[in-house]
Amino acid sequence: MRKRKSPAFTLLESLIAMFMLSLVLTFTALLFHKSYQVTRKLDEKERTRQAARMGLDRITSELREAVEITDSGGGVLEFLKIDPNATIVEPEAEPEDPEDDFEPAPYNAMIAYPLSSRLRVRYRTENEKLIREVRRASGGGWVGQVVVVGVNSFLCEQNPDNRGEVDVTVSVLDNRIVKTISSRVLCPCIREEFGV
Amino acid sequence: MMRISRGHGFVLVAMLLISVILLVSGLGIMSAQASRYAASAVISEGLQARNAALSGLEDVRVKLAKDVKFPPRKSKDRGQSKFAYSEDLSTDPEVSYSVVVDYGLEREVNVPSRFEPFRWGIYRITVSGYVGPRNEPIAQSLIYAEYDIGSGAFIRFEDRGSL
């Protein structure tokens, strides 16, 4: 067999190799571009889903603390809850030697936590923002904050047959399509108790 | 012995370089996905722990409403004011809750003319929900509630968050 003198590639070999390499690189770049586009689209979807989930989670977890729901119509939710920093008014101590006609002094939720220990919380949406406002139940101005951006609206429906059971539905705009996410909340402080 | 030319080595190096670039990019995409999966797993375990805590609260609510001897108060005379219990909900995955009922604000008066004692005041209840072993949980959720003995209803509820 005759051996070529020069160990280098011929021009044709180099051209073919370069053409094949550019083909491989182009397809790889296309593949990466496509996967980047898909990832970006999924990220947008995820952000929308996360906004809905965060909004719903925030409303439901605080609504669970409600002691009274005062307004739940027209895209507004307003309820009363106990101030987390409030201290309880303790019940009177037992008498040492009670009389036979002893009757304990009345003690209930309003005595344990008077109006000054309660907060009025309001949720509403404005320009695709979920806003939480809070003020003392005894009076004062509202203090508001944006909870999450991207929430279109929300709806709260109280079950008339089961007090304290509320269905919360949050809607978001996903690529101009309205998508909803719902959750059922049982408020322990509003629920009717068993016949004790 | 065959002589290897310098020119052929260039193709090998170029191909290795391309392979490394592709491998690094692929690994980058894969690791981004892995962290996303890990985050969603943590969220799901947190939710499991919270639901375990809520079921613990429901359990204590039923016990308080139905069982007149709950919480057991024998230790009250010894200056103890808390009663605790725990329950396993499932073994795989390990899900459980623990309940502490503080009856320090319970008032009880025995009057000779009455068969049952007067009982009023508040029970302070702390419920922890766990995913994983209770001493080293993967996720934990804490709930605090106050139960009015007179009306037999919760008057305060706080979701104190998850770990």
How many beta carbons lie within 10 A of that of residue B56, not counting itself?
26
Alpha-carbon gap: B135 to the closest alpha carbon of chain A (Å): 26
The pLDDT value given to residue A50: 86
Alpha-carbon gap: B93 to the closest alpha carbon of chain A (Å): 24
Chain A, nearest residue to B124 by Cα: A88
Q: Which H/E stretch holds residue A152? A: strand A151-158
- Using a cut of 0.80, tell me whether the model's pTM lies above it: no
pLDDT in tens, A101-116: 888 888 989 999 999 9
Query: Per-residue pLDDT for A65 more than 60?
Result: yes
The answer as to whether B146 is a domain residue is: yes
Sort B43 into a burial class: Cβ within 10 Å, 0-12 / 13-18 / 19+: middle
The answer as to whether B126 is a domain residue is: yes
Q: Touching check for B11 and chain A: CB below 8 Å? A: yes
Give the number of domains in chain B: 1
Helix (H, G, I), strand (E, B) or coil at A96: coil
The answer as to whether B1 is a domain residue is: no
Q: Touching check for B157 and chain A: CB below 8 Å? A: yes
pLDDT in tens, A105-147: 889 899 999 999 999 999 999 998 999 999 999 988 999 999 9
Residue pair A81/A66 in contact (Cβ under 8 Å)? The answer is: yes
Amino acid at B91: T
Domain carrying residue B70: 6-162
Q: Please compute the mean of the pLDDT values over residues A75-87 and round it to a whole number.
A: 92
- The CA dihedral of A191, A73, A82, A59, to the nearest 10 degrees, is 90
Interface predicted TM-score (ipTM) of this complex, two decimals: 0.75
- For residue A10, what pLDDT band results from cuts at 50, 70 and 90? confident
Q: Touching check for B52 and chain A: CB below 8 Å? A: no
- For residue A196, what pLDDT band results from cuts at 50, 70 and 90? very low
What is the domain partition of chain A in residue ranges? 12-86+103-186
Alpha-carbon gap: A93 to the closest alpha carbon of chain B (Å): 7
Among A21, A35, A90, the residue with its CB nearest the CB of B29 is A35
Specify which residues A145 forms β-bridges with. A132
Contact A82 B156 (CB under 8 A): yes
Place of tokens 């009345």: A106
Distance (Å) of CA A119 to CA A148, B97, B153: 21, 30, 20
Contact B5 A100 (CB under 8 A): no
pLDDT in tens, chain B (163 residues): 455 555 556 777 777 888 888 888 888 877 877 777 777 777 788 889 999 999 999 999 999 988 888 888 766 666 788 999 999 999 888 999 999 999 989 888 888 878 888 889 999 999 999 999 988 999 999 999 999 998 888 999 998 877 6
- Strands A165-174 and A151-158, by their bridges, are antiparallel
Residues of A in contact with B6 (CB under 8 A): 7
The pLDDT value given to residue A4: 54
Residues of A in contact with B18 (CB under 8 A): 24-25
